[in-house]
Amino acid sequence: MRRFLLAVSFFLGLLLLWQWLFQMRFWSPVLLPSPLQVWLYLKGAAADGTLFHAAVITMRRLITGYLLGVIIGLPLGLATARFQVLRDTMGTLALGLQTLPSVCWVPLALLWFGQTEAAMLFVVVMGTVWSVVIATDTGVRNVPPIFRRAALTMGSKRLHIWFKVILPAALPFVVSGMKQGWAFAWRSLMAAEIFVTVLTGFGLGQLLHFGRELNAMEQVIAIMLVIVVIGLLADKIFFSPVERFLHRRWGTSQA
């Protein structure tokens, strides 16, 4: 309860600071709208369905691209950890491409796929897969060798060791990589939706872009808040509980 009240007090303080900055007119009201203006935009966009429709389209693209990135990255990470030649080649490539800003993939996606959904999915996959590869590789290589030796002593075979011993023991690292991949996927999709215009639907990134074009800062800030809230919900509902469970399961929890 104390932690909850502390968090509420912190965000209320930020809200009051925002309102104070608006009233002091340090910036033009066009550039810094009041919290009330942002709330009114959110209320109107929610009432006419614009916000819900854009959020659904964005989440569909995000989840599809993210799952593809995980499906590709997980076996690549396992193979990189298993074979030294892949660690020296694919591992180095993954490390380099992970540092590449997601927006750098947008020009390639536009040239290769045009103004299509495939272009957006490509950018999201590229933003996700390398984090998963690196986390999986790191997790497997950090499994205590005693686990493998104990499994061999009890008669376990190669595939059984990998799927019943090594991979479960590496899951805390893998989930952390998936969490990081989720954050990169968000950034990648926002870059793609801002630069790629498709007729199959306008997502949150397009609403953000339209707000900038129209100098509607209340729309820009409102969409940014929606993106933040969705990211927090994903972490609190899925990633954090899974991480806590895995750390308790393997005895790595600090609590």
DSSP letters, 33-95, are --HHHHHHHHHHHHHTTHHHHHHHHHHHHHHHHHHHHHHHHHHHHHHHHH-HHHHHHHHHHHH
pLDDT digit string, tens, across residues 66-121: 999 999 998 898 888 888 888 888 888 888 888 888 888 888 888 898 888 888 88
- Tell me the average pLDDT of the chain: 84
- Residue 58 backbone dihedrals phi, psi, to 5 degrees: -65, -45
| pLDDT higher than threshold 70 for residue 198 | no
CATH 3.30.1200.10 fits 40-250, yes or no: no
Domain spans, the chain: 40-250
Percent of the chain at pLDDT > 90 equals 10
pLDDT band for position 209 (50/70/90)? confident
Helix axes 35-47, 2-24, angle to 10 degrees: 110
Q: CA–CA separation, 176 vs 174, rounded Å? A: 5
Q: For residue 124, is pLDDT > 60?
A: yes
Cβ(133)–Cβ(78) below 8 Å: no
pLDDT digits (tens, 9 = 90+) for 161-193: 777 777 777 787 888 888 888 888 888 888 888
The three-class DSSP label of residue 154 is: coil
Place of tokens 């897969």: 129
Helix (H) or strand (E) run with residue 162 in it: none
